[in-house]
């Protein structure tokens, strides 16, 4: 019989008690294949589109008026951002779309967009109604191969967010935590991620599957310790020396294995 995960209990009373959100990372391939609709042409829509384009999404944006920033993004997107400067129509939403962002300046229009989008199976984000969203967009830090997504909002039973969201307290805390993360996890971790990916084929070729996870945990714990010479080399920009040191460490540990 499979062992239960740590912290799991038989009581259903614990289900839904975290007041949190279910974290999901969508792949660039999915976002490019399914497409995203953004309705709205202002600054809120521009922020959403910038993030979507960063991860390789294919975006269709419809608005009666489109700001200059979005038009510039379309020119720079290589066709990934399609603009249509006209009023939104219900038939603009199709079942092929994965995400729909309702970001107009009309609450009534946003609600109508959400209604139509849900009727064909799309997930909806409303810029003016956190409680009405199917998903939220977390505060995100993108690094080379590392993505941090941070959300601090508490959701009550039934899906409504804590009232402090609207008061600005929770967004302020999110911004603070984001800053702390950026300070604590510097660019040397970007370089470390690149190096680890480079050595994965070597480990894969020399260790059986059942031993690899433990090997990588041990190695990462070693190279990220407080007095790690590898991190110091990466912090100093000595990538060649860091790669040589990591290669040596990997060879030594593989020999032990």
Domain residue limits at 129: 20-137
116 and 80 within one domain: yes
Q: Look at residue 16 in the predicted model and tell me its pLDDT.
A: 58
CATH code for position 124? 3.40.50.720
Q: Give residue 226's pLDDT band: very low, low, confident or very high (50, 70, 90).
A: confident
Q: Please indicate whether residue 191 or residue 14 has the higher confidence score (pLDDT).
A: 191
5 found inside a domain: no
Give the highest mean pLDDT range of 60-74, 200-214, 228-242.
60-74
**At residue 8, does pLDDT exceed 50?**
no
pLDDT of 227 reads 84
Are residues 127 and 173 part of one domain? no
pLDDT of 7 strictly over 80: no
**pLDDT by residue (tens digit) across 143-195?**
877 888 888 765 554 555 554 454 456 778 888 888 998 888 888 999 999 99
Main-chain phi, psi angles of 193, to 5 degrees:
-60, -40
Q: What pLDDT shows up at residue 229?
A: 95
The pLDDT of residue 32 is above 70: yes
| Residue 103 confidence (pLDDT) | 97
Taking residues 202-229, report their average pLDDT: 93
Average predicted confidence (pLDDT) for the chain? 87
Res 246 pLDDT > 80: yes
| Of 152, 154, 155, residue with least CA distance to 177 | 152
Are 193 and 104 in a shared domain? Answer: no
- Tokens at residue 103, please? 């970001």
Which pLDDT score, from 0 to 100, does residue 170 have? 74
User: Are 116 and 155 members of one domain?
Assistant: no
Rounded-to-integer distance, Cα 68 and Cα 35, Å: 23
pTM: 0.77
Q: For residue 229, is it within any domain?
A: yes
What pLDDT sits at residue 209? 93
Residue 211 has pLDDT above 70, yes or no: yes
- Of the listed ranges 84-93, 105-114, 177-186, the least confidently predicted one is 177-186
Give yes or no: residues 25 and 126 share one domain.
Answer: yes
Domain count, the chain: 3
Same domain, 126 and 154: no
Task: Kindly state whether residue 247 falls inside one of the protein's structural domains.
Answer: yes
Mean pLDDT of 45-72: 96
């Amino acid at each position: 019989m499979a062992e239960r995960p740590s912290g799991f209990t038989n009581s259903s009373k614990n289900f839904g008690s975290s007041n949190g959100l279910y974290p999901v990372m969508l792949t660039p391939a999915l976002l490019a294949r399914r497409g995203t609709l953004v309705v709205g042409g202002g600054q809120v829509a521009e922020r959403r589109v910038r993030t979507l384009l960063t991860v390789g999404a294919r975006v269709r944006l419809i608005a009666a008026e489109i700001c200059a920033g979005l038009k510039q993004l379309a020119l720079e997107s290589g066709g990934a951002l399609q603009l249509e400067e006209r009023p939104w129509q219900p038939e603009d939403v199709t079942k092929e779309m994965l995400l729909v962002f309702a970001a107009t300046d009309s609450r009534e229009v946003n609600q109508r967009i959400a209604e139509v989008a849900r009727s064909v199976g799309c997930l909806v984000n409303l810029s003016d109604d956190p409680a009405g969203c199917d998903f939220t967009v977390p505060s995100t830090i993108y690094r080379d191969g590392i993505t941090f997504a941070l959300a601090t909002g508490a959701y009550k039973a039934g899906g409504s967010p804590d009232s402090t969201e609207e008061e600005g307290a929770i967004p302020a805390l999110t911004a603070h935590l984001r800053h702390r993360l950026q300070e604590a996890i510097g660019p040397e971790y970007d370089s470390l991620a690149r190096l680890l990916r480079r050595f994965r084929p070597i480990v894969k070729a020399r260790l059986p599957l059942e031993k690899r996870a433990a090997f990588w945990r041990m190695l990462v714990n070693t190279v990220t310790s407080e007095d790690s010479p590898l991190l110091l080399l990466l912090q100093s920009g000595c990538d060649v020396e860091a790669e040589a040191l990591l290669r040596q460490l990997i060879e030594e540990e593989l020999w032990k294995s």
